[in-house]
Amino acid sequence: MALPHFRCLALGASAIPVSPHVFSAEPRGRMVTDGEVRVLQSGGSRINLRRALFSKDGKYLLCVSGDAIKVFSTATDECLHALWSHRDLVTGIQLYPNNPLQLLSCSLDGTIKLWDFLDGIVIKTFLIERRLFGLYTSASADCVYAICQGGSSTRRFDLISIKLPKSTAQECKATQVTVLFTDVHSSHKCTAVGREGEYIVTARRHTLIVYFLKSKETFR
């Protein structure tokens, strides 16, 4: 007679066999438990949905995985740890221009986070209060660029520049937000920052738009 299928749920130092019928799934990876079994954390996803990054020295590979960011060793292929703090899907990661051992990430939860990805800790959280779909950096660490939903519309997206506030608080609100383009493509693949941060380009339908940041000139 075939034995029923069981899975192991790690709780502390022990592993407890758990029937697959114990859990029922809810949106965004949350789980509901029956009985005395309690899920402490759930999440993750495929690691190839967003562009991965290598650290500047090539020792680490950083990959978005659902609402987390996984840090891999390129020498051993081992996942060293995962960066958990966002409350929704992570939609973009970039190395911090001022420090190659730090990472910026954006999420649908409306925040940009600055990480020490080696220690796996959040250094600072910037509150943007808009759903963010892509993140871009330039040579200037004070300003980043992001794709967000345009106002109350769920089908229109804007490309914005965000001046990151210099605050000693671990959590602070970004108040200097400027809309560069309206009605851009929501895909992070359709926008890029040019060489040395001189310009930013975005593609929409059959049009390529180039915006020079210093002169504030736009070419189509």
Q: What is the mean pLDDT of residues 27-49?
A: 57
Cβ(37)–Cβ(31) below 8 Å? no
Coil, strand or helix at 117: coil
**How high is the pLDDT of residue 43?**
59
Residue 209 has pLDDT above 70, yes or no: yes
Residue 16 domain flag: no
Q: Count CA within 13 A, CB hemisphere, residue 157.
A: 18
Predicted local distance difference test score (pLDDT) of residue 150:
79
Cα torsion for 204, 220, 216, 127, to the nearest 10°?
0
Q: Which residue has the higher pLDDT, 71 or 25?
A: 71
pLDDT of residue 16: 41
Closest to 160 (Cα-Cα) out of 145, 172, 149, 171: 145
Q: Does residue 43 fall inside a structural domain?
A: no
User: What percent of the residues of the chain are helix, what percent strand, and what percent coil, each to the nearest 5?
Assistant: 5, 50, 45
Check if the beta carbon of residue 74 is closer than 8 Å to that of residue 58. yes
Residue 17 reports pLDDT greater than 60: no
pLDDT at residue 86 is higher than 60: yes
pLDDT tier at 76, thresholds 50, 70, 90: very high
Query: Has residue 8 got a pLDDT over 50?
Result: no
Mean pLDDT across 203-213: 88
What CATH number did the domain enclosing 187 receive?
2.130.10.10
In a domain, 133, yes or no: yes
The mean pLDDT value for 203-215 works out to 88
Asked if pLDDT for residue 14 goes beyond 60, the answer is: no
Residue 135 covered by a domain: yes
pLDDT greater at residue 153 or residue 217: 217
- pLDDT category of residue 21 using cuts at 50, 70 and 90: very low
Work out the average pLDDT over 166-193: 90
Average pLDDT over residues 191-208: 87
Q: Is the Cα dihedral 208, 177, 128, 114 positive or negative?
A: positive
Q: Count Cβ atoms within 10 A of the Cβ of residue 29 and give its class: 0-12 exposed, 13-18 middle, 19 or more buried.
A: middle
Asked if the structure places residue 126 within a domain, the reply is yes
Structural domain includes residue 6: no
Using pLDDT thresholds of 50, 70 and 90, give the confidence band for residue 63: very high
Residues in the chain, how many? 220
Q: Using CA atoms of 171, 54, 101, 49 in order, give the dihedral in degrees to the nearest 10.
A: 10
DSSP 165-213: ---SSSEEE---EEEEESS--S-GGGEEE-GGGSEEEEEETTEEEEEET
User: Is 7 within a domain?
Assistant: no
Whole-model pTM? Answer: 0.76
- Structure confidence at residue 163 (pLDDT): 93
15 domain residue, yes or no: no
Domain coverage including residue 95:
53-219
Average pLDDT over residues 170-181: 93
For the chain, what is the domain count?
A: 1
| Section 106-126 average pLDDT | 96
